[in-house]
């Protein structure tokens, strides 16, 4: 199962890396293009799991309400799900790109 989730991110990573190698002006971004999709995939799934687990713990042990208490449908469900998945992924990819930019020899 993890391979099925990770495979598109690895494929996108290789495609982005090769595109950056082909276009001369983009070559300086090749290493970041290799790292960013994989970092997004890893951080998005780990961040989503942590957010859901922490929310569940807060709800069970402290009795705090969560957005999942009310029935969700339509736009609200989509926005909450997207935020829980996309925000940690973007943050992780941004962090990975900034670290990759410092590690890569210029």
- For 38-60, the pLDDT digits (tens) are 999 999 999 999 988 888 888 77
Number of domains observed in the structure of the chain? 1
Only one residue has tokens 């595109």, namely 19
Residue-number span of the structural domain to which 48 is assigned: 2-103
Q: How confident is the model at residue 72 (pLDDT cuts 50, 70, 90)?
A: low
Q: Which residue has the higher pLDDT, 85 or 81?
A: 85
Residue 23 — left, alpha, or beta (φ > 0 → left; ψ -120 to 50 → alpha)?
beta
pTM, two decimals, is: 0.81
Q: What is the mean pLDDT of the chain?
A: 86
Residues 4, 78: Cα–Cα separation, whole Å:
23
Question: What contacts 51, CB < 8 A, 6 or more positions away?
Answer: 84, 88
Long-range contacts of 61-67 (CB under 8 A, 24+ apart): none
Evaluate if residue 63 carries a pLDDT over 80.
Answer: no
């Amino acid at each position: 199962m993890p391979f099925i989730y990770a495979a598109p991110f690895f494929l996108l990573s290789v495609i982005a890396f090769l595109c950056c190698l082909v276009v001369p002006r983009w070559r300086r971004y090749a290493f970041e293009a290799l790292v960013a999709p994989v970092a997004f995939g890893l951080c998005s799934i780990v961040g989503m799991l942590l957010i859901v687990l922490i929310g569940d713990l807060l709800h069970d042990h402290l009795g705090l309400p969560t957005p999942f208490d009310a029935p969700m449908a339509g736009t609200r469900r989509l926005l909450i799900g997207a935020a829980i998945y996309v925000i940690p992924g973007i943050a992780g990819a941004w962090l990975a790109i900034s670290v990759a930019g410092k590690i890569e020899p210029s």
